[in-house]
Structure 1
Amino acid sequence: KKVYKNLNRPIAIMMDIKGPEIRTGEFQEAQLTKGELLDLTITTNLKIEELNNDTIKKVSINYPEIINDVHINDTILVDNGLIQLKIIEKHKDYLRCEVLTPGLLKSNRHVNLPGIKINLPPLTDKDKKDLIVAIEENIDFIALSFVRESNDIIELKNYLKEFNYHPKIIAKVENQSGIDNIDSIIAESDAIMIARGDLGIECPYEKLPLIQRQIINKCIDHYKPVIVATHMLESMIHAPVPTRAEVTDISNAVFEQADCIMLSAETSIGQYPLECISVMKTISLEIEAASPRSYRHNIELHLPKNKMLRSAVVLAQQLKRACIIVFSHSGASAQLISSLRPTQIPIFVFTDSETTFKQMRILWGIQPYKITFNPDRNITINNALQELINSNIMQKDDYAVILTNIIVDQILVETIQLRRLIS
Structure 2
Amino acid sequence: MLSEMPDTLISDTVRRYRHTHYRHTKIVATLGPATQSEEGLTRLINQGVDVFRLNMAHGTGEWAIEVTKRIRQTSDKVGRHVAVMMDVKGPEIRTGVVEQPIELVVGNRIRLQASSNPAPDDLDCPCVSVNYPDLARDVKVGATILIDSGLIRMRIMDKDDDGILCEVETPGMLTSRRHINLPGVHVNLPAVTEKDKHDLQAGAEAGIDFVALSFVRTAADIRTLQAYLKEIGSNARIVAKIEDQAGVQNMEEIIRESDGLMIARGDLGIEIDYHKLPLVQSQLIAACQSEGKPVIIATHLLESMIQSPMPTRAEVSDVSNAVREQADAVMLSGETTTGAYPFESVEVMKNIIRSIEPTVSRSLNSLITLREPKAKMLRSAALLAQELGQAGIVVFTRSGFLAYVLASLRPRGVPIYAFTDAEDTFNQMLLLWGVEPFLMEFSDDPDVTIANATERLRQSDWVTPGSWLVVITNVLAHGKVVDSLQLRQVEATPPAGST
What is the TM-score of this pair, normalised by structure 2? 0.81
Q: Which residue of 1 aligns with 2:391?
A: 322
Alignment partners' CA distance in 2, 1:132 and 1:343: 39
CA distance in 2, matches of 1:320, 1:267: 36
In structure 2, which of residues 79, 98, 104 is the aligned counterpart of residue 8 of structure 1? 79
Q: Distance in 2 between matches of 1:112 and 1:26?
A: 18
How many angstroms apart in 2 are the aligned matches of 1:228 and 1:216? 9
| Paired letter, 1:41 | Q
Q: Does the Cα contact within 8 Å between 1:44 and 1:61 map onto a contact in 2? A: no
Query: What is the match of residue 371 of structure 2?
Result: 302
**Are 2:110 and 1:38 aligned?**
yes
Cα contact 2:137–2:161 (8 A) shared by 1: no
Higher deviation after alignment, 111-120 or 370-379: 370-379
Of structures 1 and 2, the one with the larger relative CO (CA 8 A, separation 6+) is 2
Q: Distance in 1 between matches of 2:204 and 2:456?
A: 33
Segments of structure 2 that go 5 or more residues without pairing to the other structure are 1-71, 493-499
Residue 165 of structure 2 is aligned to residue 57 of structure 1: no
Q: Aligned-pair distance for 1:92?
A: 2.5
* CA deviation after TM superposition for structure 1 residue 82, in Å: 0.2
Return the alpha-carbon distance in structure 2 between the equivalents of residues 61 and 319 of structure 1: 61
Q: Which runs of 4+ in 1 moved over 4 A?
A: none
Residues 192 and 225 in structure 2, CA contact (< 8 A), matched pair in contact too: yes
Is 1:21 the counterpart of 2:77? The answer is no
Measured against aligned partners, the alpha-carbon deviations of 1:85-119 in whole angstroms (never above 9, x if no partner) come to 11111122121110110011111111000011111
Q: In structure 1, what is the Cα distance between the partners aligned to 2:116 and 2:353?
A: 47
Give the equivalent residue in structure 1 for 2:49: none
- Hey, what's the Cα distance between the residues in 1 that align with 2:463 and 2:161? 71
Give deviations 1:232-270, integer Å, cap 9, x for gaps. 111111111100000000000000010011111111111
1:350 pairs with 2:419: yes
Alignment partner of 1:284 out of 353, 357, 373: 353
> 5 Å matches for 1:329-408?
329-408=398-477
State whether residues 39 and 56 of structure 1, in contact with CA within 8 Å, keep that contact through their aligned partners in structure 2: yes
- Offset, 1:44: 4.8
- Identify the residue that residue 34 of structure 2 maps to in structure 1: none
Partner of 1:188: 257
Instruction: For 2:143 and 2:241, locate their aligned partners in 1 and report how far apart those are by CA, in whole Å.
Output: 25
Residue identity opposite 1:342 in structure 2:
P
Shift of 1:124: 1.2
Give the corresponding residue for 1:179: 248
Cα distance in 2 for residues equivalent to 1:206 and 1:292:
26
Correspondence list, 1:234-253, <5 A: 234-253=303-322
2:235–2:424 Cα contact (<8 Å) kept:
no
Amino acid across the alignment from 2:289: I
Residue 82 (structure 1) aligns with: 151
Paired residues for 1:13-162 under 5 Å: 13-27=84-98, 28-44=100-116, 55-162=124-231
User: Percent identity of the aligned residues?
Assistant: 49
Q: Deviations 1:297-356 (Å, cap 9, x if unpaired)?
A: 343212211111011111111113311111111110000011110111111111111111
Partner of 1:367, secondary structure, is: strand
Q: Deviation of residue 125 (structure 1)?
A: 1.3
Q: How far apart, CA to CA, are the structure 2 residues paired with 1:247 and 1:203?
A: 23
Q: Partner of 2:278 in structure 1? A: 209
Name the SS for the 2:465 alignment partner: coil
Instruction: Tell me the CA shift for residue 422 of structure 1.
Output: 4.3
The aligned amino acid for 1:139 is I
325, 332, 349: which one aligns with 1:256: 325
Larger mean CA deviation between 242-251 and 296-305 belongs to 296-305
Paired residue total: 419
* CA distance in 2 between partners of 1:157 and 1:296 (Å): 29
Secondary structure of residue in 2 paired with 1:101: coil
Partner of 2:294: 225
Quick check: 1:292–1:344 contact (8 Å CA) kept in 2? no
C-alpha distance in 2, partners of 1:94/1:320? 65
Structure 2 distance, partners of 1:132, 1:391, is: 36
Give the TM-score, by structure 1 length.
Answer: 0.96
